[in-house]
């Protein structure tokens, strides 16, 4: 943190209460650097909008939100297996770095902040790979897989257990029903 404190910036820290107490972080001497310390928050989108970069673990949701916001990403950890690929993705696409060492993290972010051209380039790359409509596109793909409700061969609501609509009826049907029905034909 001494490297961060030598810069003219404001820090906003989000503390996982499983790792360390907010009170412990608040007790640290931050010198003249303005610091806002948060525990859990529902305001991440707004806070990211006010940020220049983010230091985080390699969670896919956070990386996705950061890319949508055009934030360079400094990754500090990952869950082995499921998040390792996220580290590789961020690095190979050129919108972030990874280190577990606090000194390396601080010097990397300091270098980014001191080089606005590099920050702008990483921001541009992040935004270019982001897909803010991905959730809607996935939902549409799923809906498109559902059968046409006007299909006379669609089983009745009563047969499926009193569902109120064909979509909920389709979603509530027992697992493996397709396989079973195809064996009965």
- Does position 72 have pLDDT exceeding 60, yes or no? yes
Share of the chain above pLDDT 90, in %: 34
**Neighbour-count burial for 112-125, b at 16+ CB within 10 Å, e otherwise:** bbeeeeebeebbeb
Mean pLDDT of 38-46: 78
In this predicted model, which residue has the larger pLDDT, 87 or 132?
87
- Does position 142 have pLDDT exceeding 80, yes or no? yes
Of residues 2, 1, 4, the one with CA closest to residue 113: 4
Q: 162: which DSSP letter? A: S
Rounded CA separation 155/147 (Å) = 11
Mean pLDDT of 6-14: 54
- Does position 170 have pLDDT exceeding 80, yes or no? no
8 A C-beta contact, residue 144 and residue 41: no
Mean pLDDT of 92-102: 95
- Does position 136 have pLDDT exceeding 70, yes or no? yes
**Which band of pLDDT confidence, cut at 50, 70 and 90, is reported for residue 36?**
confident
What are φ and ψ of residue 55, in 5° steps? Answer: -115, 120
pTM, full prediction: 0.68
- Maximum separation of any 2 CA atoms in the chain, in Å: 76
- Does position 38 have pLDDT exceeding 60, yes or no? yes
Mean pLDDT of 34-38: 72
- Residue 148: per-residue pLDDT: 72
**Which band of pLDDT confidence, cut at 50, 70 and 90, is reported for residue 18?**
very low
In this predicted model, which residue has the larger pLDDT, 101 or 177?
101
pLDDT digits 0-9 by tens, 147-156:
776 776 665 5
List CB contacts of 132: < 8 A, sequence separation 6 or more.
68
- Residue 104: per-residue pLDDT: 92
- Does position 3 have pLDDT exceeding 50, yes or no? no
């Amino acid at each position: 943190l001494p490297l961060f404190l030598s810069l003219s910036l404001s820090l906003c820290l989000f503390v996982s209460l499983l790792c360390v107490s907010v009170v412990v972080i608040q007790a640290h001497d931050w010198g003249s650097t303005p610091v806002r310390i948060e525990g859990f928050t529902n305001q991440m989108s707004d806070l990211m909008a006010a940020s220049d970069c983010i230091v985080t673990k390699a969670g896919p949701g956070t990386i996705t939100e950061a890319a949508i916001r055009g934030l360079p990403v400094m990754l500090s950890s990952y869950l082995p297996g499921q998040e390792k690929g996220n580290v590789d993705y961020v690095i190979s696409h050129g919108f972030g770095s990874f280190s577990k060492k606090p000194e390396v993290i601080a010097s990397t972010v300091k270098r980014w902040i001191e080089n606005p051209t590099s920050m702008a380039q990483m921001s541009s790359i992040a935004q270019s790979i982001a897909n803010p409509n991905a959730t809607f596109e996935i939902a549409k793909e799923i809906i498109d897989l559902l059968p046409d409700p006007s299909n006379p061969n669609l089983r009745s609501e009563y047969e499926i257990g009193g569902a109120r609509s064909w979509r909920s009826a389709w979603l509530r049907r027992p697992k493996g029903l397709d396989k079973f029905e195809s064996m009965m034909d």
